[in-house]
């Protein structure tokens, strides 16, 4: 992990921005439903959580820094009361720092009423739009690109007859990866960018409709899956139970972020028709076919490496074992104070099961390798408890290029695969062998086999133009500071 791992030494994978949820169901307990849905989406963001509730056209908002269970205490839930519409958000920052003002939803009051907005993704032209807005006297209260989106929609709303038309016009001005839910006094609107970088689905509950980043949120509240929001589509739900679709201009290609299937999404979710669990099993099986090894046991790194490890074991015939126990009570905000304590950080989060690996040749399956620091410690842990050999297999290709579409990797500086050869990486992490998932097999992770993915972080082939200068905290950068994204400029759109 680029920035996050400098603070938190427990993980070494990319992190995704956030999860969104919205419900328009007057016959349901929308506040309780939103709480439980956000709980199921907690894996998508642990920095802050928020909820907006619409009660007879009046929108009330509560948000704070922390996990869902910490933010929405019983007292807060009682104060939120009930309503006909609600929306919620869990956030991990890829643009904007960890301040409460950056928590979502955002609530905007304007001449024609009010609007709440939740957003997942990253606008590639946010800096350009914000600069133009500020030159027209716009005052920003956050450092998130979500506020830029809110301003653009509000500008359009003041000039057109409906909120959905304002969204359609705004979509012509914003660029990049986004799924969003907007609440007006009488409507709930979901929309997705023309390439469909980020997932968004529709469910039905108690005669109304819900929108969510993943289907696991629908399962959590007992909603039935209807379909995915199509790339470039705007979907409008109203309190009378109507659902309307508006298809805006969209690209002929589909560019779902491949890391949704490899790492971000929960295994029990279905993304654009593809089961995340089945996709990861397939990735493990393909790893076993392409990169076999003589070994005694296959273990996975919790959580996203477990399914791929099971797939590797089934395909190879090597027994599957529980190699690590994960401490689920340590959130991503936990930070060790000193270097000596950092050395023990991985053992606090992941403890090896010695009986599984002692004296054995181990196949260690993980989802990806970004910096390599955590993988090095994990391999060392296995050796310390007696593993005879450690063969690392990764269910993602080498991560060589920065992402501009909503993951926490905006510089090549610490991307180990960009700066080192396979043999060098193997030596750095201390493995007996190291192999990656093949780029050519990525289309096979999609149930349709069409490979409708954005794989730019592996290939450098970006599906849309990317900004020349952009980093995670682009709106916090002080005058005169240099952006570390300059390193990305040299390699954007190019292969090694």
User: Catalytic positions, please?
Assistant: 18
Sign of CA dihedral 376, 378, 381, 386: negative
Please give the backbone phi and psi of residue 350, each rounded to the nearest 5 degrees, phi first. -130, 125
Query: Whole-angstrom Cα distance, residue 216 to residue 41?
Result: 8
- According to DSSP, residue 445 is labeled G
φ and ψ at 315, to 5 degrees? -70, -40
Q: Which residue has the tokens 């919205």?
A: 22
Is the separation of the CB atoms in 368 and 280 below 8 Å?
no
Q: Does a cis peptide bond (omega within 30 degrees of 0) precede residue 463?
A: no
What's the distance, CA 475 to chain centroid? 21
Residues 6+ apart with CB under 8 A from 1: 8, 11, 12, 13, 14, 15, 370, 371, 408, 409
**Residue labelled with tokens 């030596």:** 427
Q: How far is Cα 84 from Cα 208, in angstroms, rounded to an integer? A: 10
φ/ψ region of 230 (left if φ > 0, alpha if ψ in -120 to 50, else beta) reads beta
Structure tokens at 471: 């980093």
What's the residue count for the chain? 496
Neighbours of 78 (CB within 10 A): 9
Task: Please give the Cα distance from 367 to 308 (Å, whole number).
Answer: 8
Number of helices followed by number of strands (H, E) in the chain: 19, 23
Residue 120, CA distances (Å) to 181, 201, 428, 433 in order: 9, 13, 35, 37
- CA-closest candidate to residue 293, choices 310, 313, 279: 313
Strands 256-257 and 453-454: parallel
CA dist 300 → 297, 307, 323, 364, 389 (Å): 10, 8, 7, 6, 15
């Amino acid at each position: 992990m680029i920035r996050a791992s400098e603070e938190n030494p427990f993980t070494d994978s990319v992190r995704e921005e956030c999860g969104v949820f919205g419900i328009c169901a007057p016959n349901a307990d929308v506040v309780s439903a939103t709480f439980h849905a956000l709980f199921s989406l907690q894996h998508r963001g642990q920095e802050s959580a928020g909820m907006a509730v619409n009660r007879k056209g009046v929108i009330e908002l509560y948000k704070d820094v922390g996990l869902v269970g910490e933010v929405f205490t019983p007292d807060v839930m009682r104060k939120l009361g009930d309503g006909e519409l609600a929306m919620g958000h869990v956030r991990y920052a890829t643009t904007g720092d960890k301040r409460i003002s950056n928590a979502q939803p955002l609530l905007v009051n304007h001449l024609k009423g009010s609007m709440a907005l939740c957003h997942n993704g990253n606008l590639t032209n946010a800096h350009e739009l914000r600069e133009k807005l500020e030159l027209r006297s716009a005052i920003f209260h956050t450092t998130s690109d979500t506020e830029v989106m809110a301003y653009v929609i509000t500008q359009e709303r003041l000039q057109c007859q409906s909120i959905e038309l304002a969204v359609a016009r705004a979509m012509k001005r914003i660029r990049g990866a986004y799924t969003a839910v907007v609440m007006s006094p009488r409507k709930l609107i979901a929309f997705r960018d023309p390439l469909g970088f980020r997932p968004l689905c529709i469910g039905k509950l108690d005669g109304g409709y819900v929108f969510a980043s993943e289907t696991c949120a629908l399962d959590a509240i007992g909603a039935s899956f209807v379909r995915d929001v199509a790339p470039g589509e705007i979907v409008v739900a109203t309190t009378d139970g109507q659902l309307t679709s508006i298809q805006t201009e969209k690209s002929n290609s589909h560019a779902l972020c491949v890391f949704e299937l490899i790492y971000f999404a929960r295994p029990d979710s279905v993304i654009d028709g593809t089961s995340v669990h089945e996709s990861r099993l397939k990735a493990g099986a393909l790893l076993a076919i392409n990169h076999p090894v003589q070994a005694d046991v296959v273990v996975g790194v919790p959580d996203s490496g477990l399914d791929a490890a099971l797939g590797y074991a089934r395909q190879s015939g090597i027994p599957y074992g529980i190699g690590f126990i994960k401490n689920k009570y340590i959130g991503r905000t936990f930070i060790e104070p000193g270097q000596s304590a950092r050395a023990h950080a991985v053992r606090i989060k992941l403890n090896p099961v010695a009986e599984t690996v002692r004296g054995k040749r181990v196949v260690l399956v993980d989802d990806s390798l970004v910096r390599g620091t955590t993988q090095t410690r994990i391999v060392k842990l296995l050796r310390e408890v007696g593993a005879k050999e450690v063969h690392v297999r990764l269910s993602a290709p080498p991560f060589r290029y920065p992402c501009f579409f909503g993951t926490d990797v905006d510089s090549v500086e610490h991307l180990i695969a960009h700066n080192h050869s396979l043999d060098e990486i193997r030596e750095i992490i201390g493995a007996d062998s190291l192999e990656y998932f093949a780029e050519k097999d990525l289309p096979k992770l999609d149930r349709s086999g069409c490979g409708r993915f954005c794989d730019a972080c592996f290939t450098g082939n970006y599906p849309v133009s990317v900004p020349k200068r952009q980093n995670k905290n682009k709106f916090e950068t002080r005058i005169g500071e240099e952006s570390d994204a300059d390193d990305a400029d040299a390699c954007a759109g190019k292969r090694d």
